[in-house]
Each structure stands twice: as structure tokens, then as C-alpha cells.
Amino acid sequence: MNLEKEKNKDALKMAWAQLQSRMRKIKLGGGKERLAKLKNQGKLSARERINQLVDDPKNVYEVGILAAENMYGQYGGCPSAGVVVVIGIVSGKTCVIVANDPTVKAGAWFPMTAKKNLRAQEIAMENNIPIIYLVDSAGIFLPLQEQLFADKENFGRIFRNNARMSSKGIVQIAAVMGSCVAGGAYLPIMSDEAIIVEKTGSIFLAGSYLVKAAIGEEVDNEFLGGADTHSGISGVTDYKVKNDQEALKKIRSLMEKMGAPKSAGFHRSQTIEPKANPENLYTLIPKERNQPYDTYELIDLIVDADSIDEYKKEYGQTLITTYAKIEGWSVGIVANQRKVVKSKTGEMQFGGVIYGDAADKATRFIANCNQRNIPLVFLQDVTGFMVGSKAEHSGIIKDGAKMVNAVANSVVPKFTVVVGNSFGAGNYAMCGKAFDPRLMLAWPSAKMAVMGGEQAANVLLQIEKAAVKKSGVTLDKKKETTLKEQISKDYKEKTEILYAASQLWVDAVIDPIETRSWISMGITLANHAPATEKFNMGVLQV
């Protein structure tokens, strides 16, 4: 291995190790003290509940573990947004599991908690798979209620989704394993079946103190909304169990009796491992993100050996479009070529930039994949579309619009992996979050922003200088340098993948060598949901 590749490997592995260290801390939730307190109450932690529920704790895929990271510091933080969301297998059935973490502010809902729950429901709805709620929550975090109560994508949307999923036949099972208060009480009861744990589980619209204040009635919480009340008097819950373990066992039993889902008919053959060692993925992404590399090498390390059929190889070479297989699943890959290439007219084209011919090629390829019922995988390392008079005169906006149109109207499942840059309109054309990929994944090397840091710093500096000039002050070179450094620092922090993950712009930051298994799992999910629409590009300027 040459020195440059060794440096690349060290940089990427270091970035991944730092994220892993952060994730290990996040998995402690509210900390060891609160976990011990939970154990003394006879309760399992959120992650223990999940591990005992699934068939194999090693075969789960966690969504949004970095959500809310570095947020809500004035309230002591909210690790993983106070809720654990995984995709796993329960009694042989693939499903989404949502578990409130009672060690984080008693499982209270922060704004990012609602956003993460909505993402979990979206995954279940898009893929037509069951969703299981392990409920243990004190309800809305009141100091931030105005940020998560009344808007369209706030707390209430969760109950709307409960109703919509039920009408579509998507199974929802809830186990009330702790508090379930106020508006949050509707979530388990709007599920198809509800389980409640004796003594620790409770459901009520208002607790005993609020009842006393509101109507003067004195009543304890257990009589008001405990397991005996809701199983034997109100009929709100369907099953009463003695403890967490019995609740999880009951869910497994219910899941085991479910019928088999319909298939979307995606093709799968025997898995064949890539020819080269997947560890080589670490060596490919340059430590300096403006340096080129050959994306073909990356694709070879992700797809099954000898499975590539490249579409229009010699045309529009800044995008690679190819049919291939990933763990046996047929896929169509659209990937940014990061090395400098020569166009059909002999001119050199920048790697990572989408030119008109490349956008045209991708549009046709996406249409082909929709015609043949082949899921799409986008490998993003894009700095944007080509600019300049020549590009504008050739109709780059029109070509780009056609590609964006094809991505937006695609009815086959889409999966996006950000391996490097994700800048500008390139993010959209390569199926960014706004275009509904079934899973939006990123490597530790990923960056996401309107433009690269150096360009952005120069633009923002000019804006700041103009503002300062208006006030009658002149910046000397030293002040200008200091200002640019501060702007660059602030901008850089918000382009790092940790920031994107904290905002849930990506579902997971993954180890590069896990890319194959994440995509394979995603297609397995998607295969539960046959398309209900036909691919139609609508009206286009051709």
C-alpha cells in the first residue's frame, strides 16, 4: 500500500473511531446512575428491551443514534433524542422498533424525539412493515412545548400516522412498560394491540396531581390508570403482564402468528463477495476532500464480484451508471466519478461535478431501472452541477432539471450513501433527503452543505466586509484574516457529518465496510411494499 492510501486509511479509521467512542457514550442514555435506578425498579433499559425482543441482537440496524447530539445543552442534553429506533427481526418478521429511554428526562419528548419517531413511522409506512412501540415516557418536555406541539410535523403527526398505518393494514403493537401520559397516551391505544405491565405501566390523560387540581378528585395513579384499571375496567389495553420480560415474550408470540407479507418482486440471486478485500474501502477516500480518486474502485468493493453491466460507459463520464448486485439483490447504481475524465469532444471534465451529458445519461438510466423494477443506489461525492457560460448555453439547468425530475418521480426504492461531499443542487439530483430515499446513509468522511468550505468562507467574508464598510469601519489585513478564520470554523462545524446526523439529515453514519449489509437490509425491507404507482416523468422541456 502506498503512503497516500495509508494516510487515507488512517484518517477515515480515526474519524470512525471518534464517532464510535461518541456512540458508546450515547448508548448509556442518562448515565450509569439512572440505569441502576431503573434496574432497582425492576425495569429493563430501552436497549435491553430491544435486545430481548429481537431474534438476534447482533442483527439490528440502529437509526438516528446521533440524533440531537450537541443539542439541548441548557437542559443537560438529550442523548439519541431520548428514544432508540432500530430495524430488526422479531419472530422471523422484519420490523421497526421504537423504545423510549426513561433514563433521559424520564423519556420526555423533545422536538428531535418527535422528529425521530416520525422517521421511524415513515420507514414502517414506506416499506409496509410492522412497528413495535416500547412505551415509557413522561410526555412532552414542557419547556420546549412550543417547538413540538402544534405544527404539521410535530407531536400530533405521530397519532395521524397511527391511524393511517392502521387503515393500510400495517401492524402496530405497543407495550406500556412505564409512564404513558397526556397526549402520549393515544400512541399505544391507537396501535392495533396494547400490552401493559403491572405496577410499572400506567396510562392516563392527566395524573393524580392534575386531576386534583382540575376537578378536586383525590385518586392515586395506579387506580387512575394502572394495569388492573385498563385491563379489567376501561378495556383500554388488551393484555396484562407481570414484568418487562413477559411483555416482550407476548410481543414475540403475537408477531410469530402474523401471515407472510406480499412481495414487491425485486430480484435476488446467490450472494457473491466482492473480489477485493472490503478493507480497501478505507484507503480510497482522500484525506484532503478536494483530491480525486477513481469511483470504479469503490463500486468494485461494494458490489458482488462480476455483476457489473455498465450503462453508457463512454458517455457522460462524470456519472457512473451501472446495473450490479449487492448481496444478491439486483440494483442500479448512480455514482459520482471523482477523477478527472475526458469528454466525448476531448475536453477535460472535473471529477465530482455533474455535466449536462452525465445528467442526461442518469435520467435515462433511472427510467430504465423503474421499467425493470430494479432498486436504485446513489453513491454521493458531488460538488454540484457545472457552472459557467458554456454550461449555461448548453442547457445545464434543463439537463439537471430532467435528472431531478426522474429522481423525484422514481417509484422503485432509492438508497443514498454519502461517501464524500454532498454540495449544492448535486445533493438533490443524487437523491438527497428531500427526495425520499428509503435509507439515507453516510460514511464518516461525508460532508453536507450548499457549497464547499473555502468557497463559502470567501462569499461570507465578502458579505461581512460589505456590512462593516457600511458602518464606516475599515478592516485591516489582520482583522480580515481573523474574520475569515472564524467564518471558516463556524461553517466547517456545520458541514461535518456529525452535525447532519444530529439533525437527522441522515439515518445513520456507518462503517464503510457495512455499506453492503445496510443496502441489502434496506432492499429486504422494501421488498415488503409493492409499488402502487407507475413511473411518469410528467411534463419536461426536452
H-type helices in 233-338, by residue range? 244-256, 281-284, 295-302
Averaged pLDDT for residues 19-29: 97
Q: How far apart are CA 137 and CA 104, in angstroms?
A: 9
User: Could you read off the pLDDT of 267-294 as tens digits, one per residue?
Assistant: 999 999 999 999 999 999 998 888 899 9
Measured between alpha carbons, how far is residue 65 from residues 99, 141, 158, 481, 510 in Å? 12, 20, 20, 37, 11
How far is CA 529 from each of CA 62, 89, 109, 190, 522, rounded to the nearest angstrom? Answer: 21, 17, 30, 22, 12
With cell 466525448, the residue in question is: 344
The grid cell for 14 is 480515526
Mean per-residue pLDDT for 394-414?
Answer: 94
- Mean pLDDT within 395-408: 93
Rounded CA separation 257/32 (Å): 37
State which H helix or E strand residue 208 sits in. helix 208-215
- 330: closest CA among 379, 273, 375? 375
> What does 156-181 look like in DSSP terms, one character per residue?
HHHHHHHHHHHHTT--EEEEEEEEEE
For 150, residues 6+ apart whose C-beta sits below 8 A from its C-beta are 156
Residue 49 CA to residue 89 CA, distance in Å, equals 14
The average pLDDT across 102-113 equals 95
Q: What is the pLDDT of residues 57-107, one digit of tens each?
A: 999 999 999 999 999 999 999 999 999 999 999 999 999 999 999 999 999
Over 80: is that where the pLDDT of 119 sits?
A: yes
Neighbours of 271 (CB within 10 A): 13
- pTM score above 0.85: yes
The per-residue pLDDT of the chain, averaged, comes to 92
Give how far the C-alpha of residue 73 lies from the chain's centroid of Cα atoms, to the nearest Å.
23
Contact present, 100 and 135 (Cβ < 8 Å)? yes
CA 144 to chain CA centroid, Å, is 24
* Percentage of the residues of the chain whose pLDDT score is greater than 90: 76
Give the span between the Cα atoms of 314 and 320, in whole angstroms.
10
Distance CA 353, CA 357 (A): 11
pLDDT at 256 over 90: yes
Collapse the DSSP code of 281 into the 3-class scheme (helix H, G, I; strand E, B; otherwise coil) and give the result. helix
Question: In this predicted structure, what is the pLDDT of residue 53?
Answer: 98
Strands 309-310 and 239-241: unpaired
458 band by pLDDT with thresholds 50, 70 and 90: confident
